[in-house]
Chain A
Amino acid sequence: MPFTLTRRELLKAGFTTAAIGAAGLPVLADETREGWSWDRGVCRFCGTGCAIQVATENGRVVAVKGDPASPVNRGLLCAKGYALPLIPYGDDRLTQPLLRKRNGRFDKKGDFEPVSWKEAFDVMEAEFKRHYRALGPAGVGIMGSGQYTIMEGYAALKLAKAGWRTNNIDPNARHCMASAVAAFMQTFGIDEPAGCYDDIELTDAVVLWGANVAEMHPMLWSRIADKRLASPSYRVVNLTTFSNRSSDVADVEIVIAPNADLAVWNYLAREIVRREAVDWDFVRAHCSFATGPSDIGYGMRRDDSHCFPAELPIRARERSIVLSRAEAIAQGRKTGQVVEQASADKAGAHWLVSFEDFRKGLEPYTLDFVAEVARGDPDEPLESFKRKLGVLADIYARRDTKVVSFWTMGFNQHTRGTWVNEQAYMVHLLTGKQATPGSGAFSLTGQPSACGTAREVGTFCHRLPADMVVDNPEHRAHAEHLWHLPSKTLNPKVGSHITQMMRDLEDGSLRWLWIQVTNPFQSTANANHWIAAAREMDNFIVVSDVYPTLSCKVADLILPSAIIFEKWGGYGNAERRTQLWRQQVNPPGEARSDLWQMMEFAKRFKLAEVWGRKPLAGLKADGFESGALPDVLADAEQLGFRRDQSLYEVLFATPEARKQRWPDPVAQGRPNCTVDAAGIDWFPEKALFQEYALFGRGHGHDLADFDVYFREDVRGLRWPVVDGKETPWRFNEKYDPYVSKGVGIEFYGRAMKQVPSGNLEKVTDPKLVSLAGKAKIFYRPYASPPESPDAVFDLWLSTGRVLEHWHSGSLTRRVPALNAAMPEALLYMHPHDAEARHLKPGDLAFIESRRGKMAARVETAPQRNRMPRGMVYVPWFDEGVFINKDTLDATCPISKQTDFKKCAVKVYRAEAIAGRAP
């Protein structure tokens, strides 16, 4: 499809730049140099999954370009992607293990000294075994990442769950898309989007819900902008809590109040019903209506333990709340009513309701009510806001308009994150605009392998690979079978999610922690608690990373890791596309791949140390002694294992794994630092991938064979890959081989498909109904956030990213051009809010919440973010502007994902403290 704007349309669209004089110039030849060697790879940053070509020369990365053959990004990269060749080469790269020592030995209060890998592992092992003996498997844990390669995540999962028998492994992806996962599972019974990026070109309208795609997924934005500029009738709507760069190309910008997305969806559903726009053929054939309890708390600690005094009033809301007027109307209750949060322990429970009940739930969400609750910019006239909601309703309700809803952290980082994800499906399912080319509710992800590793491999405290869970006996048995483990090796008790692991540290119930490919002490909300717990209590924290991050500063032992080009790996992006890469160069100094670190550390555990009887407080499961995991050593011997065998032999260097020989022709002569450091003749990354793939085949998660991903004609493949064919749209018979013949659409996911029935309040008939092949349309009410601005803490604080930096900035801030472009995190605020606090752009301000305080410089210019009055935004990439000291560790009670987008702060001139002693 060529660029089709006519001159007239061009003028109508107000283009300032018309025809441009490039005709006749040849398309530029590829930039390259003699001596450069090119290979393919994947971008290290966001969840878009841009394919790259990478050039190396003399053992160094020298250039990248976007892969023109990749359907994801067609030869383009964003500013971060183009900086990839520089990310291994910052001067403070970690090249040797560093251990806190005093007087020649490990000391938690000591300074960091370089040590050998042997000394590092000696201390790490001694500390592990000290705490493991005292506390059992619950006393140790791993914090992983959506930046793990697929193989690393799989190795970590296997080491933790099968080796150490702890389920305390959870990724930073918990902070990123756990709400999306929970909603996929509850709605469809299987994780991950139905659609794919091709929807961008195929749809009529894109609606962004809490997704500043222009900055956070720039190459998807490039596709959206391309389509919008070429198609005058194409519509882009940006629904957000503040005006941002995505508004610059959007046709409609809707600035909503925090949490009001819940109300807007219900308004849309109500309109769809009212306008008789429900696609009843679709709904009757493929959907059922459902709801769940509403009094589910906010995922905070239930008691007042370790509470700063200022936190008490917010913490109390975990137990009971007083309904605001909006909540009361939205939930059909009374303003001021005290509601006990009695269902916090069963927040994920749900049951079927009738369509009549569903409709009754939507009844309060009139345009007038929702406009009042949802208008986010106090300076926008209410009538204008209402008109925009009407336009939005038109887009969703029109039978012939294809629409894609994209969301990321605005939805997922939300104390009702699972609900608001489910509401998106509610509207798409009601209108039949789901699982079909050009239409669908589409959750984008923030990390390169949040899907491929965290979700699909299952590096969560409740998961096993391929959507299986630890508290399902059949799933455990299946995993034990594939891993050749004795029965009941796997721990049936769900472990601690990442925020809970921080709380466990503070409680002293978790005392040994290995942090891999992530920076949780910078990225976890309410950070003052966790850094104090880490530094001041008896625990041992290991951080594997490539640069000294804030978490390294908190650690006791720092292990130097290899970065993307220095190891073999694979990522899975937000459209289910799995992409693998070859190692290009070797890591510097003594830096080693994370995989080597795990394999090597596993050598230090004999089966007798981990597979005996282990205390596990709170364990209650069919077939298990209460409070303890059984001794499985006798059964292990029956299976041919020996008590003195190491976890390395049992989990990694298995006879099957060793059949994947190194060198392998697929490497085309390229190195493998894991193989070199381990001194082995087999190919661990390939062995792990092939073993992992067994979990998904035949279960709707099929991956292709390892070597297929390296074929010249393959640019990643979207799973399920069956008979060599990828699946662009799931649940749709035309594209998805898992759909039964003749049904058209089938939501075949199998989880949570046996449910009781009831009304909007409760279950009335416990008899389980089978929903095989169907999706659920959830009714979910509006709820206020646990903390809102008041007279003292009078502003909303939202946090997030900027285009130039990735996550905590540990890579991108070491690229001089990106650092010079965005050297520090700024405090974005409305000019009037700044003025009222006697602040000018560039002034230093304190941003203080009930939990902590930090300083940042004021920005009011309109080029990037245009804040409504009453709300400020601070990106979190900057360890010097440690915004997570301010944020609240409230989570969605279902998904356990933190809401980083809403808490209350006050902002004041930094100098003001001089006049008033604190």
Chain B
Amino acid sequence: MRSLVALALLALACAGPQRPAASAQPDGGTPAEALGLSKSSVFAVPTPPAVRENAAPPGAAPVLPRMFPGAPPVIPHDVRDFTPVTKRQNACADCHAIPTKTEGGPTPLPPSHYTDYRFAPDKAGDKVTGARWVCTACHVARTDAPALVGNSFPAAVSSH
């Protein structure tokens, strides 16, 4: 009995995401619990969802569309074996520092990544600039987490 009570308490404590999103009341009011990114009371202890990192090896998953032209592409594959990028090791560049795209091959770094925008902005050199060495500053990988809310930003354009 005692453990049953405890289980019920746990269920209550963890009710956040499982609870159906509170809907508008008949008179049109929206309870606070229905607002925000965690559909629960501010007094509750919600259970965070379990999410999985992208386990697709490089080349297995399609290239994802960019948010807009010029936006850094999202990394479409597992990065756990390739990160962190350190001053001695850049496993990303091992594959991506190539001149041209081949069918099914890695996406080449664009010339901007060989250009020192601070001191020599007029031409691309032959090495990745230090300013862009830490790939994870701009490029993010992804998990299987669905969007928390939709976003109506102009539809993503195809990668180019």
A contact residues vs B (CB 8 Å cutoff): 1-3, 5, 13-23, 25-28, 30-33, 57, 60, 62-65, 68, 74-79, 82-83, 85-86, 89-92, 98, 101-102, 110-114, 201, 214, 218-219, 221-223, 225-230, 245, 248-249, 521, 531-532, 535, 548-550, 552-554, 803-804, 809, 813-825, 842, 844, 846, 853-857, 861-864, 878-882, 910-911, 913-918
Contacts and interface: CB of A to CB of B under 8 A. Distances in A.
Contacts of A27: 111-112, 115, 122-124
B6 A817 contact: no
A3 B125 contact: yes
Contacts, number: 320
Contacts of A815: 151
B63 interface: no
Contacts of B134: 214, 218, 221-222, 225, 245, 248-249
B48 A856 contact: yes
B113 to A, nearest CB: 8
Interface string B122-160: 111111111111101111111111011111111000000
B67 A910 contact: no
B58 to A, nearest CB: 15
B20 interface: no
Which 3 residue pairs are nearest across A and B when measured between Cβ atoms? Answer: A111-B29, A31-B70, A226-B130
Contact of A14 (B42, B85, B88, B151): B88
Given A86-B151, A225-B87, A226-B133, 20 more contacts: A17-B128, A21-B98, A21-B126, A22-B114, A23-B125, A27-B112, A32-B69, A57-B154, A63-B69, A63-B70, A79-B137, A91-B152, A111-B31, A222-B130, A554-B42, A813-B148, A863-B79, A863-B80, A879-B37, A913-B13
A814 B151 CA distance: 7
B83 interface: yes
Interface in B88-105: 88-91, 93-94, 97-99
B118 interface: yes
B57 to A, nearest CB: 17
Given A20-B114, A63-B69, A915 B133 contact: no
B25 to A, nearest CB: 6
- Identify whether the interface residues of B are mostly helix, strand, loop, or mixed: loop
A820 B140 CA distance: 9
B35 interface: yes
A823 B68 contact: no
B124 A23 contact: yes
Given A82-B72, A916-B6, A521 B132 contact: no
B56 interface: no
Contacts of B84: 245, 248, 862-864
Contacts of A110: 29
B121 interface: yes
Contacts of A60: 154
Contacts of A14: 88-89
Given A5-B127, A89-B153, A823-B49, A17 B90 contact: yes
Contact of A855 (B14, B28, B88): B14
Contacts of B60: none
Interface residues of B, number: 100
Contacts of B6: 913-918
B47 A855 contact: yes
Interface of B: 2-3, 5-7, 9-10, 13-14, 16-17, 25, 27-33, 35-38, 40, 42-43, 45-51, 67-72, 74, 79-80, 83-91, 93-94, 97-99, 109-134, 136-145, 147-154
A853 B14 CA distance: 12
B46 A821 contact: no
Contacts of A227: 130
Contact of B74 (A102, A219, A809, A817): A817
Given A221-B137, A248-B85, A28 B110 contact: yes
Contact of B51 (A63, A82, A824): A824
Contacts of B143: 820-821, 823
B124 A817 contact: no
A4 to B, nearest CB: 10
A692 to B, nearest CB: 33
B136 A803 contact: yes
Contact of A824 (B25, B36, B49): B49
A841 to B, nearest CB: 10
A535 B32 CA distance: 11
Contacts of A89: 151-153
A33 B69 contact: yes
B117 A75 contact: yes
A22 B99 contact: yes
Nearest to B28: A113
A43 to B, nearest CB: 13
A552 B128 contact: no
B29 A74 contact: no
B7 to A, nearest CB: 5
A222 B137 contact: yes
21 contacts: A3-B130, A20-B128, A21-B98, A23-B124, A63-B70, A75-B121, A82-B72, A82-B138, A111-B29, A112-B29, A226-B118, A552-B32, A553-B36, A814-B37, A819-B148, A820-B74, A824-B51, A846-B45, A855-B47, A879-B37, A914-B10
Nearest to B40: A880
B142 A821 contact: yes
B150 A817 contact: no
Which residue of B30, B33, B123 has the most chain A CB atoms within 10 A of its CB atom? B30
A83 B130 CA distance: 23
B14 A76 contact: no
Contact of B35 (A20, A112, A915): A112
A916 B10 CA distance: 11
A824 B146 CA distance: 12
A844 B140 contact: no
B142 A85 contact: no
Contacts of B27: 113
